[in-house]
Structure 1
């Protein structure tokens, strides 16, 4: 096979494969992220759980069944209305008030709390239905207690936007022991662009310990009050989010292919690290403009930085320390958008979580570099003539994909201006 054919095959194959995995235009800012908050504290001779949950998760078994069977969603606590764009569901507040005990039963069964393999008896002590998520986060026990005194939604809220605050009394003989939390209902199928996260706050510790569990808690999440466990958890989250962020991965791959295992690679990676550490921390702590076009513009610039790194590597121009510091500043903004979804700015142990998340990013970055350089070494040793065509083909595929991202994300900037 000729050099041209090798390159062409690699470009087509890699672009198609990577294109199937490409993130959406705004991969770091999921407007569809739904957050359930669970705060655990000691009280009344046992444990108390305060839960803030998007309404669909309380009906996930019914929603999931309706999705699978392709039938209407039926519940005595839901009503259907016809709009100009179709039909939508609302929570029926009159039905909830009329059959409050049945509604409380559904809330009590939505989560299963257990210790040492035994489920804890749960009794609801109050609930409030909101038309949308309240501005005040559940960052402390006093915040959680105050939520139950907030006014309920007046009119029937839209089902997909409604949020429910409720409190449970848990009977436990070991109030300081490890607590397992799992969904009591079958999961629903999230729509495109919808992500679900769970913010867990253990107020048995002083100050409270926070952690995050993704998904609908089909797998139990554990709360043990350990700050070391929480630190490790956010290290893992940092690793996960750089490895899942395809634009970040491809930037590091392009950098490794452009510089190789040289001293300059260390300098450029260090510059990139310092850059994204600065903006990750500063932006997450509130230094983010509120302009509607800002986030789409950052995402577009991140895609352009991947294109720059790939083209620079193709022409054997690796770039300067200053350039990669600037690229790091851009990617740090992207990381901060992700972190804001999984960790609220009012989290009680915010600084350790930020530090752990940043360490996780570095670990993930080293994994990408290690894998890339190892593969380059193996190809060089086993099939040296194929090394340059393979390298060029990979960089060409990265370039094509990043051009697509730039075009796609520019549409978001234009739409937000």
Structure 2
């Protein structure tokens, strides 16, 4: 009978000892075995997956039994023709191939260097093409595939869900200061800092072709960009409106054909969205630099062959006089230079008191302290410093130990960005 022959073929295929043999065997029998049969074979091969095995096997068995019943009811002539022609349906081959070919998880060594398997590294960033974050991604990983995201939260999730390999995150600007929202996201998510890059920001005033800057009634851009061009906007006497990102402002003007609205964005955004540059280099300070962090699912291995920076976040157990001084002295005593310190209120502790009996003065804010210091966690002095810090900290987490960006910022490259 056809059914008996098919079951023998299924058992023979499932009994292959390796994936290559299974694939070869299945391709030879693709004209005999249906999609349900092939799914059943794949599930049998994957029986060692204890967590998913029972559910997957039961589903595949039901599917195989359903299709076997349908084949029994078909005409004998059609069934015999399928037996004689073993290699007639390429769709079955592709289906089976997708079932047994699983993505190889990235290891620490994979994340520490560009991929060697032929695919492009995917880097998520907030914004649309033409954003400064996209420029930072391509500077850090020149051959990457930049993946735009609506919000910073989506960029984090893209990496966590394996939709992207890296995320690029602006963390501070030389004029606008720290981007507090992103500090909070670093603590909320479990990604690791694996690098940094600094980008010279060169702002341009953009408008639709034929529009003069004197005709503008409002200018839209990211809040940081608006603040960085305060002098120019004040002279123009225009209204200001904040949007999510600079390149998105340029895209919005093009999409809506707004002749009375300008955007502050890069020269690349003007090229991408067909806008004219009404004024070039309108930032208040020509030395405008933004620092970006590169994030990954796994940390890189710290080394000592080049300058490294380490980022941590901690909270003090008790706010006694000199507690923060004592915590920071762990680095000063070991000649470790602190390059950044940022404090953020703890969201889950907006109010606390000195002790459990409500004795003392009420504290309306408890703080998390973010610190960057120039040392690699491969160095003994850095390890000892964190060991001493733990004596004062009720919470301590290392965000990443990564190579410092020592690349000089070329003023000429800013105008090209």
Pairwise same-fold verdict (TM > 0.5): no
TM-score range, shorter-chain basis? under 0.3
Higher relative contact order (CA 8 A, sep 6+): 1
Structure number with the higher helix fraction is 1
Task: Give the TM-score taking structure 1 as reference length.
Answer: 0.23
Greater Rg by CA = 2
Task: Give the TM-score taking structure 2 as reference length.
Answer: 0.23
